[in-house]
């Protein structure tokens, strides 16, 4: 493919429009280890590889767009979480971030449990052999059928989210002659510093039962009376993509206060607390996530301290990281289709995917980076917006980033940190075919979720 120079676009900091960018990176060929998975590497000749396989080969074999998931990185992150929390606590991977049967097998092999929030996720977990007792079942409006399936399967816990659900789960369990282990999800009134749509612990929202006004205490009262339920603890999830531990601190303190109230009123010490997921990852070089061992230490210190001052035995802690495990393990590989410089503004780079494979930029104003990965370039940086091929101007994958000015149709570019909430939130908008997820490890690449086909689309269209 010939690489013609583009008409002079906006390239220098003094003529750049406003945006989220800072200055162009010193070296566009450098790959920041913070945002790329651990086996990603750029060779001397400039070609990037993952798991020992060059991206050009991956593109040829699996097509683009596609998500490439670094299996070693995924497993290492599972182990880091498991080891950080040790035998005193449980780690439940949040399947909503990305779930497939291979993922479920890796979780089992690495000693993690699984949090599911729909019948579809439960089916996937059970189909891959996850023991039901290692599954937690979530959701703010579980259908009667979902509750029945979860109870029947024998899931380790159902997290109750409303007064109606307390009764529904209890009745289902009684009918099936079982006693279901449950936690009650409470909203602790914390404003997490994250996007409004992914903050979940302030009171004005759909999840959980408020601690405020004695609602959660009343939920405990009702749950303790029902024979079908074994109330094992309290659950709190304050939001997603959070870096500051202060929110978890307040949340843990308030949950422990509730445990103390329950002990005082009922003479029962609930043995477990779950502090949810929500730990942030690096999407760009500006993000500085905490390591699992720091998070584990901070959480266990807070809970131990609060329990000591309330005179309670320290409960067993569990956490539910999704993004922090799978997010950094994958990148999306795209092929550049068109390059359109807009004088005085920026250059629009259109790729062969878009909001159908990554809705996060449009939905949350999420920030991503991007790199040219099929070759090295020493051309000067140009400010780009990476956009998709959908019929919508909000179809943006990367809002502001720098790519080399000699970028041309046919080049491969990759957006890192797309392992979480990209494939799992992918859509068929414009009848796009959802991309495959390919696991890469030790020089071998294996499809774990295949690309959709037009036959898949037509199979659902029965008219
Ligand atoms: N536990 C519960 C009860 C949750 O609701 C969630 C996420 C998690 C754990 C996992 O959170 P994580 O560690 O992955 O942040 N689609 C949004 C995120 C929505 C998260 C919903 N619940 C995004 O793309 O940012």
Is 391 marked active-site?
yes
Residue closest by Cα to atom 9 of ligand 1:
277
Residue closest by Cα to atom 16 of ligand 1:
421
Q: What per-residue confidence (pLDDT) applies to 152?
A: 98
Q: What is the position in ligand 1's atom list of the atom closest to the CA of 276?
A: 1
Going by C-beta distance under 8 Å and a sequence separation of 6 or more, which residues neighbour residue 238? 188, 190, 192, 199, 200, 201, 247, 248, 251, 276, 278
Q: What per-residue confidence (pLDDT) applies to 9?
A: 41
> What does the domain layout of the chain look like in residue ranges?
41-70+328-458, 138-321
Q: What is the position in ligand 1's atom list of the atom closest to the CA of 280?
A: 15
- Give the H or E element holding residue 274: strand 272-274
**Choice among 78, 307, 391, 422 that is catalytic:** 391
Q: What is the pTM of this model?
A: 0.94
Q: Computed from CA positions of residues 208, 212, 213, 218, in that sequence, does the dihedral angle turn out positive or negative?
A: positive
- Distance of CA 340 from the midpoint of ligand 1 (Å): 36
Q: What is the position in ligand 1's atom list of the atom closest to the CA of 235?
A: 3
Per-residue pLDDT tens digits for 246-262: 899 899 999 999 999 99
Q: From first to last of its 463 residues, what are the pLDDT tens digits of the chain? A: 333 333 334 444 445 566 555 688 889 999 999 999 999 999 999 999 999 999 999 999 999 999 999 999 999 999 999 999 999 899 999 999 999 999 999 999 999 999 999 999 999 999 999 999 999 999 999 999 999 999 999 999 999 999 999 999 999 999 999 999 999 999 998 866 665 555 666 777 899 999 999 999 999 999 999 999 999 999 999 999 999 888 998 999 999 999 999 999 999 999 999 999 999 999 999 999 999 999 999 999 999 999 999 999 999 999 999 999 999 999 999 999 999 999 989 999 999 999 999 999 999 999 999 999 999 999 999 999 999 999 999 999 999 999 999 999 999 999 999 999 999 999 999 999 999 999 999 999 999 999 999 999 999 999 9
39 three-state secondary structure: coil
- Distance of CA 97 from the midpoint of ligand 1 (Å): 7
119 touches 142 (CB < 8 A): no
Please count the other Cβ atoms lying within 10 Å of the Cβ belonging to residue 305.
Answer: 15
Per-residue pLDDT tens digits for 117-132: 999 999 999 999 999 9
Task: For a ligand 1 pocket test, name from 136, 323, 332, 427 the mutation site with the most ligand atoms within 8 angstroms of its C-beta.
Answer: 323
**CA neighbours closer than 13 Å in the CB half-sphere of residue 192:** 31
Q: What ranges make up the beta strands (E) of 82-194?
A: 89-94, 113-116, 135-137, 157-160, 180-187
CATH class for the region spanning 41-70+328-458: mainly beta
- Distance of CA 240 from the midpoint of ligand 1 (Å): 5
Per-residue pLDDT tens digits for 36-81: 999 999 999 999 999 999 999 999 999 999 999 999 999 999 999 9
Task: For a ligand 1 pocket test, name from 113, 209, 320, 425 the mutation site with the most ligand atoms within 8 angstroms of its C-beta.
Answer: 320
CATH class for the region spanning 138-321: alpha beta
- Distance of CA 354 from the midpoint of ligand 1 (Å): 22
Q: What is the position in ligand 1's atom list of the atom closest to the CA of 195?
A: 25
CA 392 vs CA 110, 388, 422, 425, 452: distances in Å: 42, 9, 18, 18, 22
Residue from 425, 307, 444, 404 nearest 361 by CA: 425
Q: Output the ligand 1 site: residues, CB below 6 A.
A: 94, 96-97, 115, 138, 198, 237, 240-241, 276-279, 320-324, 360, 364, 420-421, 425
Indicate the burial class of 26 (C-beta count within 10 angstroms; 0-12, 13-18, 19 or more): exposed
Q: What per-residue confidence (pLDDT) applies to 192?
A: 66
Task: For a ligand 1 pocket test, name from 322, 355, 363, 419 the mutation site with the most ligand atoms within 8 angstroms of its C-beta.
Answer: 322
429 touches 384 (CB < 8 A): no
Per-residue pLDDT tens digits for 294-334: 999 999 999 999 999 999 999 999 999 999 999 999 999 99
CA 110, chain centre distance (Å): 18
User: What is the spatial distance between Cα 159 and Cα 139, in angstroms, rounded to a whole number?
Assistant: 8
């Amino acid at each position: 493919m010939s690489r013609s120079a583009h008409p002079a676009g906006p390239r220098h900091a003094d003529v750049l429009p406003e945006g989220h960018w800072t200055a162009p990176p010193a070296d566009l060929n450098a790959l920041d280890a913070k945002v790329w998975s651990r086996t990603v590497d750029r060779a001397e000749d400039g070609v990037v590889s993952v798991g020992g396989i060059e991206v050009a080969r991956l593109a040829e074999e699996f097509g683009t767009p596609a998500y490439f998931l670094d299996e070693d990185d995924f497993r290492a992150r599972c182990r880091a979480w498991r080891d950080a929390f040790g035998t005193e606590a449980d780690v439940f991977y949040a399947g909503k971030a990305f779930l497939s049967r291979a993922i479920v097998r890796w979780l089992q092999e690495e000693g993690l449990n699984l949090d599911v929030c729909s019948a579809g996720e439960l089916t996937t977990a059970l189909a891959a052999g996850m023991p039901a007792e290692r599954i937690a079942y979530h959701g703010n409006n579980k259908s009667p059928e979902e509750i029945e399936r979860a109870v029947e399967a024998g899931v380790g816990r159902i997290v109750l989210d409303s007064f109606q659900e307390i009764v529904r789960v209890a009745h289902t369990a009684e009918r099936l002659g079982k006693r279901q282990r449950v936690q009650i999800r409470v909203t602790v009134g914390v404003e997490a510093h994250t996007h409004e749509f992914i903050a979940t612990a302030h009171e004005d929202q759909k999840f959980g039962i408020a601690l405020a006004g004695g609602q959660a205490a009343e939920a405990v009262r009702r749950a303790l009376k029902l024979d079908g339920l074994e109330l094992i603890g309290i659950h709190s999830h304050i939001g997603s993509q959070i870096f500051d531990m202060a929110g978890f601190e307040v949340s843990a303190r308030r949950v422990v206060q509730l445990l103390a109230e329950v002990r005082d009123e009922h003479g029962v010490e609930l043995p477990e607390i779950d502090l949810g997921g929500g730990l942030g990852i690096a999407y760009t070089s500006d993000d500085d996530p905490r390591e699992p061992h720091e998070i584990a230490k901070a959480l266990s210190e807070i809970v131990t301290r609060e329990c000591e001052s309330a005179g309670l035995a320290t409960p067993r802690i569990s956490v539910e990281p999704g993004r922090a495990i799978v997010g950094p393990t994958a990148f999306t590989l795209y092929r550049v289709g068109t390059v359109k410089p807009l004088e005085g503004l920026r250059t629009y780079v259109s790729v062969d995917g878009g909001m159908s494979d990554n809705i996060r930029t449009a939905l949350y104003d999420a920030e991503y980076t991007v790199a040219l990965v099929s070759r090295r370039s020493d051309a000067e940086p140009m400010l780009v917006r990476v956009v998709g091929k959908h019929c919508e101007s909000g179809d943006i994958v990367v809002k502001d980033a720098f790519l080399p000015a000699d970028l041309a149709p046919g080049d491969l570019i990759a957006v890192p940190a797309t392992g979480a909430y990209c494939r799992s939130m992918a859509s068929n908008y414009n009848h796009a075919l959802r991309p495959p997820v390919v696991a890469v490890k030790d020089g071998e690449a294996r499809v774990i979720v295949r690309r959709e086909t037009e036959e898949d689309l037509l199979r659902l269209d029965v008219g």
